[in-house]
Amino acid sequence: MNPFAPAAISHRSEEVFVGRQAIVDGQQRIIGYELLFRDQAHATQAEITNDLLAGTRVLVNTLNNMGTEWLFGDRIAFLNVSNPMLESEFLELLPARRVVLEILEDVAPTPELLPRLNDLRAQGFALALDDYDGNPDLDFLLPLVSYVKIDVLATPAERLPDLVASVRRHPVKLVAERVETRSMFHTCRNLKFDLFQGFYFARPETLTARVINPGQALVLELLNKVRANADIGEIEKGFKRDVALSFKLLRYINSVGFGLSCEIQSIRHALAILGYQQLYRWLTLLVVTANEGSTPPALMKTAVTRGRLTELLGQELLDKHERDNLFIVGIFSLLDAMLEMPMEQILERLNLPEPIADALLHREGVYGPFLQLAEACEGADIPRIRALAEALTLDPERVNVAHLQALAWVEELGV
């Protein structure tokens, strides 16, 4: 049995959770958030059995499901990293200048660690040393980090001034963690801490997003294609087979943190901009965090068919770029059903061109009539098909042919 056969594509609609706790300055203005893995909506702490899995879950939820703009806006994000996460290439997927990597206190000083940390700094990441307690084994990290976090609840009050003084020998910002009372806040401020975090300011809040996961078999197939430097057209075909992959790709590359000056509008354009190396890392991340389960196969098939039909309906009326947008309109038009949430909320987290958003929200604009016609074809609404076709100056027979072509195309894909 071919493990990468198209029939193996499956999806699951589920909720994902990321904890977020504010970090404030001396005037209690929020300057950033620490992002924390959560395995359920009501969790108050993480249940972590595998550091790499926990880290990648926060990473994939941030990048693909929630979006940097929604999670931390124009502020910075602090993200815990242990040795396995530091050794992986997943960190390169993050917007470096918006992220502070918190090195956990139990990090092992391996020979590879220092070169890796210097490389991450060169890429634009800031580093923080988490839960520093004066342990001399961690002093080698102090010249590298921009932030040092001290657990003021766990540190004896009489030790705190000396610990602060020892850290002050380095040009770092001091962060007081676990500040739980007003008096503790004033004590830390008098000791010249720069930033503060704890229950006194805000308890961690858990943010939720409903997601669809791409089929693991297809992701593995695409990984093999990317590794073999397959033609970009072949890779694009794989993305067109899977709504979740297309959604996550455009979501990721259109995120505010990605730093692009141009708006990505088509799957091929996104792949070309991303490049094979970054695409390989991103697909690897999806494999690591993939889940079993499924969205109803009929719904997935309808979405892919609708994308192809909407694209074909504009074949003689619009240029290639506009037809690419038609495919996205068609395939994304059922995201509200897949994610079980209003389309308005989905589009808040997905930076798409306004004409595409108009079509998805209101069935209006330049693409709206094509989507309406595709939906009429699915419902075999003959009078509506004729009226919409006439408005688009399309021959109803040509519409019928396009519908048959779309159905055949999806069967060939094996969706």
pLDDT digits (tens, 9 = 90+) for 167-195: 999 999 999 999 988 899 999 999 999 99
pLDDT > 60? residue 415: no
Residue 7 confidence (pLDDT): 30
Identify the band that residue 270 occupies on the pLDDT scale cut at 50, 70 and 90.
confident
Nearest CA among 262, 213, 211, 268 for reference residue 239? 268
Out of 18-32, 73-87, 207-221, 312-326, pick the least confident: 207-221
Which of the listed ranges 223-237, 252-266, 278-292 does the model predict with the highest average pLDDT?
223-237
pLDDT > 70? residue 329: yes
Residue 262 confidence (pLDDT): 61
Work out the burial of residue 390: count CB atoms within 10 Å of its CB; fewer than 13 is exposed, 13-18 middle, 19 or more buried: exposed
Out of 1-15, 110-124, 294-308, 336-350, pick the least confident: 1-15
As a whole number, mean pLDDT of residues 69-86 equals: 76
Phi/psi for 411 (5° steps) reads: -65, -40
Give the whole-angstrom CA distance, residue 375 versus residue 379.
6
Question: In the chain, where does the domain assigned CATH 3.20.20.450 lie?
Answer: 13-208
Identify which has the larger pLDDT, 233 or 62.
233
Identify the band that residue 92 occupies on the pLDDT scale cut at 50, 70 and 90.
confident
pLDDT digits (tens, 9 = 90+) for 402-414: 888 888 777 666 5
pLDDT > 50? residue 292: no
Identify which has the larger pLDDT, 380 or 233.
233
**Do 254 and 264 contact (CB within 8 A), yes or no?**
yes
**Do 31 and 61 contact (CB within 8 A), yes or no?**
no
Identify which has the larger pLDDT, 127 or 41.
127
As a whole number, mean pLDDT of residues 48-73 equals: 59
Q: What is the dihedral of CA 78, 83, 86, 87, to 10 degrees?
A: -170
Residue 276 confidence (pLDDT): 86
Residue 20 confidence (pLDDT): 74
pLDDT digits (tens, 9 = 90+) for 351-370: 677 898 999 999 999 999 99
Question: Does the predicted model carry a pTM greater than 0.95?
Answer: no
Identify the band that residue 214 occupies on the pLDDT scale cut at 50, 70 and 90.
low
Classify domain 13-208 at the CATH superfamily level: EAL domain (3.20.20.450)
- Reported as type and span, the H/E element at residue 31 is strand 30-38
